Chain A
Amino acid sequence: MKGGKIVIRVALIGNPNVGKTAIFNNLTGSRQHVGNWPGVTVEKKEGKCTHKETEMEVVDLPGTYSLEAHAIDERIARDYIIDEKPDVVVDIVDASNIERNLYLTLLLLELEANVVIALNKMDLAASKKYEFDIKELSLLLGVPVIPTVAKTQSGMDKLRDAVLDAAVRKDKHRKVTVGYGDDLEARIKEVEDLILTDTYLANTYPPRWLAIRLLERDDSVMDWISLSPKRDQILEVARW
């Protein structure tokens, strides 16, 4: 907080070609700054906007299909969400290609990001005869879903409202877990419970997310695990 004014930090994320740049431009207008992510030559765009007397700082994360740390773009996006903990993450979803796009959404939810979905390209989806039940979709995912058409600026004000709302409810947002079926859930629970016994680990990273990463054999989380006193037990349960 600065001078009584609330500043909320918003990150934009989405698959490539979903209209992320258009939404970023719509939100921030001319108040943009282009730089580089530290240490790499990937462009980092930041912008500002004021909505209902609240200042928003918007960061445009690289377009990515997933959040595994293999590619540099994915790593930037993932680390930003883990390390910087933005108040709100706006996940831009291409409504006409929703199956593929929701994959990233599920990963964001695993990461316990405070997600607001901008369901973009609604015009294109309509031409494909898609009829969304927005309420139901929002309920199932447990996050606000705002239909938008970035190129006509449609839905932008509602999106800003939703971002503001989500920022206020940041610590109270209802957590919906998208279940992976009983077998997998049992495995996840087993690893998660063990992670929870290491307070530092559990407070630094979302435990369920970390458990899933371990079960996925994602070696990029090894650095964190190897520092834990529970290391051997965790690895044993995760069967590494």
Chain B
Amino acid sequence: MVDVNADTFAEARYKAIDHILHTSLAGRGHHALTTSDMLDRVFLHKRLGIPVFLSLMWATFQFAFAVSEPFMVMLESVFGWLGGLFGEPLTPLISLWADGICGGLGFVLVFIFPIMFLFIALAILEDSGYLPRAAFVMDRLMYRLGLHGRSFIPMLMGFGCNLPAIMATRSIDGERDRLITILINPLMSCGARLPVYVLIAGALFGAYAGSAIFSMYVLGIVLAIIMALLFRKFIPSLRGKPAPFIMELPPYHRPDVKSVLLYMWSRAVIFLKKAGTILLGGALVLWFMASFPWGRGVESSYVGMLGHILEPLVSPLGFDWMAAIALFFGFLAKEIVVETLGILYGVGGSGAITGAVATHMTPVTGLAFMAFTLIYLPCLATVGIVKAETGSWKWTGFMVLYQLVLAYVVAGIIVVVGNFIIGVL
């Protein structure tokens, strides 16, 4: 006799329902295929569903990068011009303006364009009703892998920001499933990491920049799934079978221009607010640390001293001390990684920052740096919310620790494999 389980009964119940409705309900199934049914046949297809999802995501990042690039170049040159208004940065005050405000904060502000275009694309996918289907398709895969179904919705939200995504895990039934979902959520690449990818990929990968950015998002999803599987397998308190669940798919409809623009604007406002507060503060502190003691050059500045202390930690990965500093301060907010590079390269005397990236990183270390930024630490606010939601310093500490180790391992693999491939070529 075959073994039975919950799925056997669920199937039998639907069969029974079908049987009941067969005689008691006329008009069912007679209607022609609706557009919605037809779309679902493609988007929810057993084998095509995931390739379709990945293609759409790739198109999304390609769009966000390609469309925003000319705008970024324009705004960057505006800040370049503003920074040069008072001539060469020979006094602290001019340097603060040129390198700190325009070169640091201004440089981050440039990235408002990819953020806006990414969220326009995501809003269209969401508003049209596709995104819940993507969640459904991913879910089917994840459930088969032994992960909890409902966890992909918070994971998709993590593309925007990990903070609300982690709060959204409250909709997950079991404490165990919820904890796993929280622990892997920071691996979903949030909007704050986008500027780092755009900067590095734009400088190093040319026409393939969009694909390189896309690869980071896929890497995040894949790592999240792998980690969840490992946690479930090897951590005794997280072991167990996930609970099945039912998901309601909203009807498809034409995205509403107003709500798409509103969504984009709300993300832009969040970014601008961050720019006015933590990124501005970061720019001032970093500029100060990079410029003083005055006149001794960036290498011997305070930040240079700190950087040289940190450098041995990341030099095996091929990162220099400036990258180390960027990652160090990036813990406050990931946009600061970009800001730091802007200020350090600027104070160090480089004119065009994108050009400076190419002199400081090879494509291999660049890719490793992107992956490291993706994985190494969630931002400070995320750590806070994880503590609040898990109520445990132990799990919060565990999360920080595993991500640091994972970042190192993944970046290491990229460097070793990448250099090997380049050596062969």
Q: Which A residues fall within an 8 A CB radius of B?
A: 16-17, 65-66, 68, 70-72, 98-100, 102-103, 106-107, 128-134, 136-137, 140-141, 178-181, 183-184, 187, 212, 215-218, 239
Contact = CB atoms under 8 A, between A and B. Distances in A.
Contacts of A178: 13, 16, 20
Interface residues of B, number: 32
B21 A129 contact: no
Interface stretch (B27-35, B94-102, B257-265): B27-35
Given A68-B243, A71-B173, A131-B26, A187 B20 contact: no
B174 interface: yes
Interface string B1-32: 11111101110111111101101111110110
18 contacts: A68-B6, A68-B243, A70-B174, A72-B173, A99-B17, A102-B17, A103-B10, A103-B13, A103-B14, A130-B25, A132-B26, A137-B24, A178-B20, A180-B13, A180-B16, A181-B12, A184-B12, A239-B3
Contacts of A72: 173
Contacts of A107: 13
Contacts of B88: none
Contacts of A215: 4-5, 8-9
B153 to A, nearest CB: 14
Nearest to A215: B4
B425 interface: no
Given A130-B28, A181-B12, A215-B9, A136 B17 contact: no
Contacts of B8: 184, 215
B31 A133 contact: no
A147 B115 CA distance: 50
A48 B326 CA distance: 64
B270 interface: no
Given A140-B20, A215-B4, A98 B25 contact: yes
B209 to A, nearest CB: 43
A192 to B, nearest CB: 14
Interface of B: 1-6, 8-10, 12-18, 20-21, 23-28, 30-31, 173-174, 243, 245-246, 248
A140 B13 contact: no
Given A66-B246, A99-B17, A218-B6, A133 B24 contact: yes
A217 B13 contact: no
A17 B1 CA distance: 40
A104 to B, nearest CB: 10
Contacts of B25: 98, 130-133, 137
Contacts of A70: 173-174, 243, 245
Nearest to A65: B246
B368 to A, nearest CB: 41
A114 B120 CA distance: 51
Given A180-B12, A184-B9, A184-B12, A128 B20 contact: no
Contacts of A181: 12, 15
A130 B21 CA distance: 11
Nearest to A100: B246
Nearest to B242: A70
Contacts of B20: 102, 137, 140-141, 178
B23 A140 contact: yes
A131 B26 CA distance: 5
Contact of A99 (B21, B243, B245): B21
A174 to B, nearest CB: 16
B402 to A, nearest CB: 27
Nearest to B150: A71
A106 B13 contact: yes
Contact of B26 (A16, A98, A133): A133
Nearest to A75: B173
B9 A216 contact: yes
Contacts of A183: 1-2
A216 B23 CA distance: 28
Contacts of A134: 24
Contacts of A184: 4, 8-9, 12
Nearest to A185: B12
Contact of A216 (B6, B14, B17, B246): B6
Nearest to B16: A178
